[in-house]
Amino acid sequence: MTLSDSQTRDLAFKALDSFQIEIPSWGFANTGTRFGKFVQAAAASTIEEKFADAAEVNRLTGATPTMALHVLWDLPNGLRDVPEVRALERRFGIRSGSINPNLFQDQEYKYGSLCNPSAAIREQALDHMLVSIEIGKALGSRDVSLWMADGSNYPGTQSIRKRIGWLEDALRACHDRLAPNQRLLVEYKPFEPAFYHTDIADWGMSSHFARHAGPQACVLVDTGHHYSAQNIEQVVAWLLHTGMLGGFHFNDRRYADDDLTLGSIDPYQIFRIFHEIHQAASDGLALDVAYMIDQSHNLKGKIEAVVQTVVTAQELYLKAALVDRERLAGYQQSCDLVAAEELYRGAFWRDVRPLTAAWRAARGLPADPIAALRASGYVERIAGERGSRSSAVSSYA
């Protein structure tokens, strides 16, 4: 059945109303590569500045009410920093999103954190996890999002199986401390900074650890954390099917974990992921998926890059929402390959920008959030205010 314009509009508005995406506090701070850092005068160097920037993005897009926090960078004093964060939430109208423990920067973690051969260091890492869970409770934030840099660089230098056991124990201990509304998201990555083996290298390992930990644990898919040829939407379909999909860290990549703007290299990839999610929802699967951005922009203006990312995510989410799934199912059933593919590709190529613009107008948002940011003078103003300080401080190298 072909939809009328007003039916399409209703469907589009419904999809856009339901789509929110979390922005990372570290996306506003000065970052770099291991070769160097190009500092930006407008970069945020305090938690207050990060909240201010997040509020600006939400004002422009209406789709980013929460900001992910990285414990070491944003709450360096742990629970003692909670009241300040609470006050900033109220002041800027932005809620704390996922809480990201940091198990990769302390010197002790050279040979691993929760998988370190030293029981004392594993204990220290577990303590940090437990503090992060308590921070999540105190902030009323639901997801604790774990990524570890643990692994090894050379064959034979670590017992892969002993490390599996240590991690199983640690994640179960974490799960025991979750409040009923909290979730533990387990992120995977096949390489970097470890280059021989990574303790949670892929979605199968993440799923195993999450299942072993308990029912409130699930998998986090960072789109940059796959081998080049990997079929990520198939991974997503499997996680949906097995009830293990907890959320995403979106970004794009050409070679490795490049942290490029979502959809800048392969927008079709993100469309295909969103299609799996819309399809699962319309098939009646119970879904609870946290959409998050994990990008640290080094060359683009930080706030502008985040706004561009949110706008792109909305467009791709909407394109996938508008796939005629009934007709597609018919073509799939009759194995009409070309008709199925053309319908699918057609949805991807559809220009949904008139629909996103109409939705923004109806919701009192700027029709073109990037242009509105440029016109607002916000970046120039904060660059003037922050410029003298920002070269000195950074949270991520």
Residues lying near ligand PSV in the complex (CB under 6 A): 26, 100, 147, 187, 189, 222, 249, 257, 294, 396
Region 5-24 residues binding Mn ion, contact defined as CB under 5 A: none
| Residues whose CB is less than 8 angstroms from the CB of residue 165 and which lie 6 or more positions away in sequence, other chains included | none
Which CB, 188 or 344, lies closer to Mn ion? 188
Q: 98 with 144: CB under 8 angstroms?
A: yes
Is 257 a residue that touches Mn ion (CB under 5 A)?
no
Nearest to 393 by CA among 43, 18, 23, 119: 43
Which CB, 27 or 62, lies closer to ligand PSV? 27
Cα torsion angle, 186, 149, 45, 28, sign: negative
Strand extents, DSSP E, 59-210: 66-70, 95-100, 143-146, 151-152, 183-187, 197-198
**Distance of closest approach, residue 199 Cβ to Mn ion, in angstroms:** 15
Is 222 a residue that touches Mn ion (CB under 5 A)?
yes
Which CB, 253 or 360, lies closer to Mn ion? 253
The tokens describing 129, both together, are 């996890």
**Distance of closest approach, residue 46 Cβ to ligand PSV, in angstroms:** 18
Bridge-based pairing state of the strands 151-152 and 197-198: antiparallel
Nearest to 264 by CA among 276, 249, 250: 250
Measured from each CB, the residue nearest to ligand PSV is: 147
Long-range Cβ contacts of 176-181 (<8 Å, 24+ apart): 176/214, 177/130, 177/133, 177/134, 178/133, 178/144, 178/214, 178/216, 179/136, 179/137, 180/216, 181/142
Among ligand PSV, Mn ion, none, what binds residue 233 when CB lies within 5 to 8 Å by partner kind? Answer: none
**Distance of closest approach, residue 294 Cβ to Mn ion, in angstroms:** 4
What would the x/- binding string for Mn ion be over residues 133 to 152, using CB under 5 A? --------------------
Chain center to CA of 275: 18
Q: Which position among 249, 253, 275, 360 is part of the footprint of Mn ion (CB under 5 A)?
A: 249
**Distance of closest approach, residue 253 Cβ to ligand PSV, in angstroms:** 11
Piece of the chain touching Mn ion by CB under 5 A; list 16-24, 55-63, 244-252, 322-330: 244-252
**Distance of closest approach, residue 224 Cβ to Mn ion, in angstroms:** 7
371, 377, 378, 380 alpha-carbon torsion, rounded to 10°: 120
Among ligand PSV, Mn ion, none, what binds residue 100 when CB lies within 5 to 8 Å by partner kind? Answer: ligand PSV
**Distance of closest approach, residue 229 Cβ to Mn ion, in angstroms:** 20
**Distance of closest approach, residue 143 Cβ to ligand PSV, in angstroms:** 12
Which CB, 250 or 359, lies closer to ligand PSV? 250
Chain center to CA of 210: 18
Which CB, 81 or 222, lies closer to Mn ion? 222
Q: Which position among 257, 294, 304, 315 is part of the footprint of Mn ion (CB under 5 A)?
A: 294
**Distance of closest approach, residue 146 Cβ to ligand PSV, in angstroms:** 9
Which CB, 30 or 356, lies closer to ligand PSV? 30
Is 252 a residue that touches Mn ion (CB under 5 A)?
no
Which CB, 220 or 365, lies closer to Mn ion? 220
Residues in the chain: 397
**Distance of closest approach, residue 349 Cβ to ligand PSV, in angstroms:** 30
Long-range Cβ contacts of 198-205 (<8 Å, 24+ apart): 198/150, 198/151, 199/112, 199/114, 199/115, 199/148, 199/150, 199/151, 199/163, 199/164, 199/167, 200/148, 200/150, 200/167, 201/151, 203/235, 203/238, 203/239
Q: Which residues bind Mn ion (CB under 5 A)?
A: 222, 249, 294
